[in-house]
Amino acid sequence: MSSAATCGASRFSGRGVTLIELIVAIAVLSIATVSILGLLSAIAVRSADTLIREEEVTLASSYLNEVLAKSFGNSGATQRPLFTAVGDYNGLKDNGAHDQRGNAVSGLGQFQVAVKVTNGALAGVPAADAVRVDVTVQSPSGVVVLVSGYRTRYP
């Protein structure tokens, strides 16, 4: 028993990891971990940018739908809750998103919204009977989204 145990013990006692092998393994694992975390970080940043852009597009579309739902022309109203025509919205600037009644929309106070209404030219429609509505939304990071639509005078 003693010769077999001694022989077996000496066979396994020589096995192990040297200090250099351990340092190399730690370095390789560190590099792999940093690379993976860098990739995940980049994906997270792009994901946040996409979310902000999606919020901007949704906000701009909401404003555009509100404007295009109004009648053609200009009623002369100066307060948003009283706007009844598309032309009333020309020059509207909101610091933070607001609903049709002028109430601030929670969570969207950091966006800047501007509406511009100009004469628009469409094929087959006289220039006096068409307007182009541009809604611009800017995020705090400076990303700008522009959504446009046309409103025509029709019977």
Would you give the DSSP letter of residue 9? H
Report whether pLDDT(138) > 80. Answer: yes
Q: What is the pTM of this model?
A: 0.69
Tokens of 136: 């611009």
Structure tokens at 113: 């919204």
Instruction: Give per-residue pLDDT as tens, 34-87.
Output: 888 888 877 776 666 777 888 889 999 999 999 999 999 888 888 888 999 999
115 pLDDT higher than 90: yes
Residue 79: CB atoms within 10 Å: 8
Q: Which residues lie below 8 Å from residue 74, measured CB to CB, with a gap of 6+?
A: 85, 86, 87, 88, 90
Collect all residues with Cβ–Cβ distance below 8 Å to 45 and sequence separation of at least 6: none
**Per-residue pLDDT, 12:** 52
